[in-house]
């Protein structure tokens, strides 16, 4: 990508350090628990069924299990981690063989999120902070250290969004190639779980908003900035007078999202409708060949019926949680919990007791970084309030018959806010209508946009001329890093004394 060449050397070094940190966090001690952790009891078995052509039924599309099956096949071929094996699926497998693909995909997430931030803003500092925040999230880390499927949903979803943003800046053939890649990724995300469609919905929403704003501003081809937006915005407005943004020539004062209306309804339907649907169908072909007695539509009716029949509450699963509890992280999930008390009788699935320890708790909690999640929730509210204020000003001035007094959104920054808020809403709000048992990991897609929103705020604070705001930015980063370090043992499953475990469980609902 040509934009990489334009980045300053310090950014290249810093982003490389973040990536190496991500790799270390995801791969270190990956086979620590020689067992099947949480839903690995299903997904590893299903993946092996695909390798042996054994019929199966799962309530989710098959791509996530294909990825685990590919990991097992490659891992067995190269003999990954053969010093530690188990027989939980009826054949000897190394935990490393069925987990390494998840770890690799999870390690790449910070780079993709950072690339999205850079495409939106053209600011290396924003990209770096967004990548760092993604690296420091506990739930993404836990989900990508075990053979689970949610990480693939997020990976393909945000990769599709990155390709779409890149396509907005290209011409002709390059644009169509990138839009095709975007459509393929969105189809793949839905091929992991149906809620992967939320990433595609976010693109639809911002594309519709762009056309609505273009329609509302018809007859006002030369926008003037609002006096309330400040000197920088006026200067940007002056630069934007009398010309349109050209394909492939997005400057530092522009957003690729300003090119959204160059994509018409037919292109959206084909590249982000037909192509994802074709990819989704193709994903099912290996599964249908193994399960020849069930057709495509009949299978989907069975899957839908499974989800509709599932109830909610602790009787269904002790870690069911409603959508409104997720941003506050009120009910995380215990993926693994074992207590080791004897060196003479070790538990086969656990590492040996640490030297000098009489008792150790090995715990893996599927929970986010509390500081990152709580600050991220506040950031989303701030961004919504900022957008609401701009819409209110725009609507009132337009209603007074003075359309030339305001142009919304007149700054690249407001396009960033719109992108973050709409994508967050697309990944979060549909869960309001879901009545079946749901879990906190379903919030993973929305968290990506809380990280982008919080990173945007923090980066602006750090560049503010006001010392108080700069201190707020530094404090936010410090708290996130401190919280990540404090809860790292329950992300990685490191041995803890009962007292150390207790001080990390701040609320009864966390246990």
pLDDT digits (tens, 9 = 90+) for 467-498: 999 999 999 999 999 999 999 999 999 999 99
Q: Which two tokens stand for residue 61?
A: 């599309």
pLDDT at residue 258, rounded to an integer: 80
- Non-local CB neighbours of 298 within 8 Å, separated by 6+ positions: none
Cα diameter, the chain? 84
The DSSP output letter for 255 is: -
Q: For the whole prediction, is pTM greater than 0.75?
A: yes
Residue 382 has pLDDT above 80, yes or no: yes
Query: How much is the average pLDDT of 128-133?
Result: 97
Q: What percent of the chain has pLDDT over 70?
A: 85
Return d(Cα 476, Cα 373) in angstroms, integer.
12
Q: pLDDT grade, residue 220 (50/70/90)?
A: low
Residue 247 has pLDDT above 80, yes or no: no
Element of type H or E holding 202: helix 197-216
Q: Which of 59-68, 267-276, 387-396, 439-448 shows the lowest mean pLDDT across its residues?
A: 387-396
SS3 496: strand
pLDDT at residue 406, rounded to an integer: 43
pLDDT at residue 306, rounded to an integer: 92
SS3 421: helix
Return d(Cα 67, Cα 73) in angstroms, integer.
10
List Cα–Cα distances, 464 to 53, 109, 459, in angstroms: 60, 29, 9
Return d(Cα 189, Cα 304) in angstroms, integer.
18
Return d(Cα 147, Cα 144) in angstroms, integer.
7
The half-sphere exposure of 49 on its side-chain side, counting CA atoms within 13 A, is 18
Q: Which of 175, 127, 163, 94 is nearest to 18 (CA)?
A: 127
Cβ neighbours, 10 Å, residue 225: 23
Return d(Cα 261, Cα 426) in angstroms, integer.
20
* Mean pLDDT of the residues in the chain: 87
Strands (DSSP E) found in 233-319:
none
pLDDT at residue 400, rounded to an integer: 60
The DSSP output letter for 136 is: T
CA 479 distance to own-chain centroid = 21
Query: How much is the average pLDDT of 178-196?
Result: 97
Q: pLDDT grade, residue 105 (50/70/90)?
A: very high
Query: How much is the average pLDDT of 320-328?
Result: 96
Q: Which of 100-109, 225-234, 274-283, 425-434 shows the lowest mean pLDDT across its residues?
A: 225-234
């Amino acid at each position: 990508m040509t934009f990489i060449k334009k980045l300053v050397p310090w950014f290249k070094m810093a982003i490389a350090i973040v990536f190496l940190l991500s790799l270390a966090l995801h791969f270190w001690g990956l086979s620590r628990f020689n067992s099947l952790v949480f839903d690995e009891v299903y997904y590893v078995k299903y993946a092996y069924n695909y390798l042996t052509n054994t019929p199966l039924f799962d309530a989710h599309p098959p791509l996530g299990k294909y990825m685990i099956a590919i990991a097992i096949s490659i891992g067995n071929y190269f003999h990954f981690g053969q010093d530690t094996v188990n027989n939980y699926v009826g054949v000897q497998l190394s935990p490393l063989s069925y987990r390494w693909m998840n770890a690799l995909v999870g390690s790449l997430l910070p780079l993709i999120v950072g690339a999205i931030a850079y495409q939106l803003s053209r600011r290396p500092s924003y990209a770096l902070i967004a990548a760092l925040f993604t690296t420091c999230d506990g739930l993404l880390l836990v989900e990508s250290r075990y053979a689970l499927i949610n990480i693939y949903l997020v990976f393909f979803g945000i990769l599709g969004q990155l390709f779409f943003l890149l396509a907005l800046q290209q011409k002709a053939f390059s644009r169509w190639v990138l839009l095709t890649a975007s459509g393929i990724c969105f189809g793949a995300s839905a091929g992991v779980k149906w809620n992967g469609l939320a990433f595609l919905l976010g693109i639809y929403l911002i594309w519709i908003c762009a056309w609505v704003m273009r329609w509302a501003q018809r007859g006002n081809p030369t926008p003037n900035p609002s006096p309330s937006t400040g000197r920088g915005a006026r200067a940007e407005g002056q630069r934007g007078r009398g010309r349109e943004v050209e394909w492939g020539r997005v400057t530092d004062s522009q957003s690729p999202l300003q090119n959204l209306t160059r994509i018409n309804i037919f292109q959206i339907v084909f590249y982000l409708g037909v192509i994802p649907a074709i990819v989704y169908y193709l994903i099912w072909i290996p599964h249908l060949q193994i399960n020849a007695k069930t057709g495509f539509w009949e299978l989907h009716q069975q899957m839908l019926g499974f989800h509709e029949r599932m109830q909610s509450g602790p009787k269904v699963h002790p870690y069911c949680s409603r959508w409104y509890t997720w941003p506050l992280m009120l009910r995380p999930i215990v993926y693994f919990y074992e207590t080791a008390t004897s060196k003479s009788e070790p538990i086969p699935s656990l590492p040996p007791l640490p030297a000098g320890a009489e008792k150790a708790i090995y715990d893996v909690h599927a929970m986010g970084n509390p500081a990152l999640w709580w600050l991220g929730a506040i950031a989303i509210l701030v961004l919504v309030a900022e957008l609401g204020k701009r819409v209110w000003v725009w609507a009132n001035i337009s209603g007074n018959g003075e359309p030339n007094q305001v142009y919304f959104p007149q700054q690249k920054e407001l396009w960033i806010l719109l992108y973050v808020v709409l994508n967050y809403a697309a990944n979060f709000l549909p869960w309001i209508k879901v009545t079946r048992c749901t879990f906190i990991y379903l919030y993973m897609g929305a968290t990506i946009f809380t990280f982008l929103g919080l990173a945007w705020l923090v980066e602006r604070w750090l560049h503010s001329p006001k010392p108080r705001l700069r201190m707020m930015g530094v404090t936010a980063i410090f708290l996130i890093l401190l919280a990540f370090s404090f809860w790292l043992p329950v992300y990685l499953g490191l041995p803890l004394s009962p007292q150390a475990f207790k001080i990390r469980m701040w609320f009864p609902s966390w246990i």
